[in-house]
């Protein structure tokens, strides 16, 4: 579910989240993705995670997964 929904978010979000997951600092991410500064990275990360969450919650398997965790 996570992999398939990750493919649904924008390529920029995918790159940003992968860089952060691999330990890149906000300044490194900003430079690599040509963003103005670290604050832009933090704001974009939040927006990307919201988008990914929206796709996860819309996934067919989400309700089954959610019930099994409670």
Domain ranges of the chain: 2-62
Rounded Cα–Cα distance for residues 32 and 16 (Å)? 9
Q: Is the pTM of this model over 0.85?
A: yes
Rounded Cα–Cα distance for residues 20 and 29 (Å)? 7
3-class DSSP state of 35 = coil
Residue showing tokens 């927006």: 47
Per-residue pLDDT band for 68 (boundaries 50, 70, 90) equals confident
pLDDT tens digits for range 10-65? 999 999 999 999 999 999 999 999 999 999 999 999 999 999 999 999 999 998 88
Retrieve residue 37's tokens.
């500064």
CATH of 2-62, one of 2.30.29, 1.10.10, 3.40.50, 1.10.287: 1.10.10
């Amino acid at each position: 579910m996570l992999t398939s929904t990750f493919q649904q978010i924008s390529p920029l979000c995918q790159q940003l989240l992968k860089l952060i997951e691999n330990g890149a600092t906000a300044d490194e991410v900003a430079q690599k993705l040509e963003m103005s500064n670290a604050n832009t990275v933090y704001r974009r990360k939040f927006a990307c995670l919201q988008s990914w969450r929206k796709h996860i919650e819309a996934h067919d398997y989400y309700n089954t997964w959610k019930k099994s965790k409670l």
